[in-house]
Structure 1
């Protein structure tokens, strides 16, 4: 048996709390159908008996307060919404309890941007953490000592599990069930809740937004130039010449400010432009590839798949707007 504490954090979303208890309790039902004992004792736990969630939109009554739970086996940290810095401050009273339970053997299952709270406890220091692509830059600015992973939706390290993407936390819950009860039970849960168990990456869903929260004016101008010219063909030398800067120094500055090399930035802008074209069925795939400045179709397909995990044709099949 595993005792599960789903934390009712201030600024948490009701859906992530409810989905967690629904999935784990349903796993117990599956075991009972097989004439086996239930595995999870699931409780919603809070700092007070009644907690306001989702910026005050909901109020939840918890099963127990953290003072009443002396020992738990699994802690589930739900999604947070709104201002992350504010949410961290409002939930400081949970920190000591979470840290104590972890060092007493509890696993921590962190859903999406609930990782902002978890990182504030210090338990993610030098550990891997997946994060939603839209929150990556803000997270890195606040917690530079965390090993951020943005190419997978699940991380598993030292009894701490994290996930990226809004509802990909459902995949993390399936992963937890598989760890505890085996693949067969995880597959059964995925079928009953109709969750795509094979999701491994958030790359197909990422919308590339260049990092511009820096003060290097020449880098900002270069970013805008690249973004305003997705169909043009130019080299790194062309950009450095346009802004009258030395290549080696400027490439170093560009990478430091944006997290991408100049070549990577150009590629990502072209891929993002191609994605918007692929979502319409007005042009053929080859027309779109030529339009973004590639004469070598195979070369562009490789670049496209590197950033999306999909070929152009598979991307169109998944996201086309009819």
Structure 2
């Protein structure tokens, strides 16, 4: 089996190196077990010289312009910044190669924000995908034809695999190992890398820390209103009556600038405040609810779970203070 690793420009080094280490160890374990399945790893990039010749001299490197045989799996690493337009632009030459390999039967596998480059190829249109929680909004806006699953740790659809943020990539790599080489090898790898296998949601990693909009004073004014008074706002329409503009215009401009409707922005602000209280205080759940401007426990719990994938109680158990 041949696995190729794209050495993209502005790559997140840890994403690529972790994948190399992971599959290099898989290769060694397979060899130790005298398995009939063997791995061949290859790096593919635009640079002239082998970028990791010192650290991975045993893994061959080929330039994108060279003739490259058909691969079984092609891995796209994460990017080191969230300027995705720039990331895609500087890596656009990889897109025809990805499409060619896919047409020849390769499985494509993006790690974290590598999904942006994969989506830019059009190969994800109509298919399920996920990405880092911080990139969800930008991804959905840039690629509306992709069936984005924000909560998903990994997705699999028509030989294309994607993973959520950072360490979620390890769950995808484990999934691939189990799929092609069996559970025994996957468990051995999981133990070697100390990877927990019970993660099924990534929304609780999300942090809502929006920047204030500089280009639209009306939007900025609403952001400040929500930021300063979220805990006392019960009816957003009433709170926005002091804003000199129509409801339709407010919603249009706000969503254009922030990617969210005002009500969604308010909800995410309230839930982020609730998360902080659950993490840093011993207030009971009812007090947390009231402190963030809610008075209906069912509504509060439903919204909390929608945004985090966990109930308030489960979130506190995972991230709350240990007071004993």
TM-score over 0.5 for the pair: yes
Equivalent residues of 2:70, 2:101 under 8 A apart: yes
- For 1:273 and 1:86, how far apart are their aligned partners in 2? 33
Decide whether aligned partners of structure 1 residues 93 and 243 sit closer, same or farther in structure 2, where only a CA change above 3 A counts.
Answer: closer
Q: CA deviation at 1:13?
A: 2.6
1:66-98 per-residue CA deviation (whole Å, 9 max, x = no partner) reads 414222111011112134334333333333222
Does the Cα contact within 8 Å between 1:137 and 1:211 map onto a contact in 2? no
Structure 1 residue 298: Cα displacement: 4.2
Over 3 Å counting, the alpha-carbon distance change for 1:46 and 1:247 in structure 2 is closer
User: After the TM superposition, which of the residue ranges 43-52 and 270-279 deviates more from structure 2?
Assistant: 43-52
Give me the TM-score of the superposition, normalised by structure 2: 0.83
Give the structure 1 partner of residue 274 of structure 2.
Answer: 274
The runs of 5 or more residues in structure 2 that have no matched partner are none
User: In the superposition, relative to structure 1, how do residues 287 and 26 fare at CA in structure 2: closer, same or farther (>3 Å)?
Assistant: same
1:148-176 per-residue CA deviation (whole Å, 9 max, x = no partner) reads 33121222222111112122111111121
Aligned length: 317
Partner of 2:113: 113
- Give 1:63's aligned residue: 60
SS for the counterpart of 2:273 is helix
Q: Residue 8 of structure 1 contacts residue 51 of structure 1 at CA under 8 Å; is this kept in 2?
A: no
Does the CA-based 8 Å contact 1:4-1:72 persist in structure 2?
Answer: yes
**Matches of 1:168 and 1:268, distance apart in 2:** 23
Partner of 2:4: 5
Counterpart-to-counterpart distance in 1, 2:17 and 2:189: 16
- Note if 1:187 corresponds to 2:184: no
TM-score norm. by structure 1 comes to: 0.83
Structure 1: segments with no counterpart, 5+ residues = none
Q: Residues 146 and 302 (structure 1 numbering): CA distance in 2 closer, same or farther, change over 3 Å?
A: closer
189-198 or 119-128: bigger deviation: 119-128
Distance in 2 between residues matched to 1:257 and 1:30, nearest whole Å = 50
In the TM superposition, what whole-angstrom CA distance separates every residue of 1:3-35 from its partner, at most 9, and x where no partner exists?
A: 101112222233222222222233344444544
Which residue of 2 is the match for residue 99 of structure 1? 99
Larger CA deviation: 107-116 vs 10-19: 10-19
Report if the CA contact (8 A) 1:129-1:149 is conserved: yes
Judge conservation of contact 2:7–2:44 (CA < 8 Å) in 1. yes
Q: Assess if the C-alpha contact under 8 Å between 2:233 and 2:239 holds in 1.
A: no
Q: 1:311 to 1:136 in 2, by over 3 A?
A: closer
CA deviation after TM superposition for structure 1 residue 63, in Å? 0.9
Provide the residue aligned with 2:71 in structure 1: 72
Tell me how far apart the structure 2 counterparts of residues 256 and 89 of structure 1 sit (CA, whole Å). 23
- Give the equivalent residue in structure 1 for 2:14: 15
Q: For residue 310 of structure 1, what is the aligned residue in structure 2?
A: 310
Q: Is the 8 A contact 2:255 2:262 kept in 1?
A: yes
Counterpart in the other structure of 1:41: 40
More off after superposition, 173-182 vs 134-143: 134-143
Cα distance change, pair 191–270 in 1 and its aligned pair in 2 (3 A):
same
The structural deviation recorded for 1:254 is 5.0
Q: Which residue of 2 aligns with 1:241?
A: 241
What is the CA distance between 1:215 and its match in structure 2?
6.1
- 2:166 alignment counterpart: 166
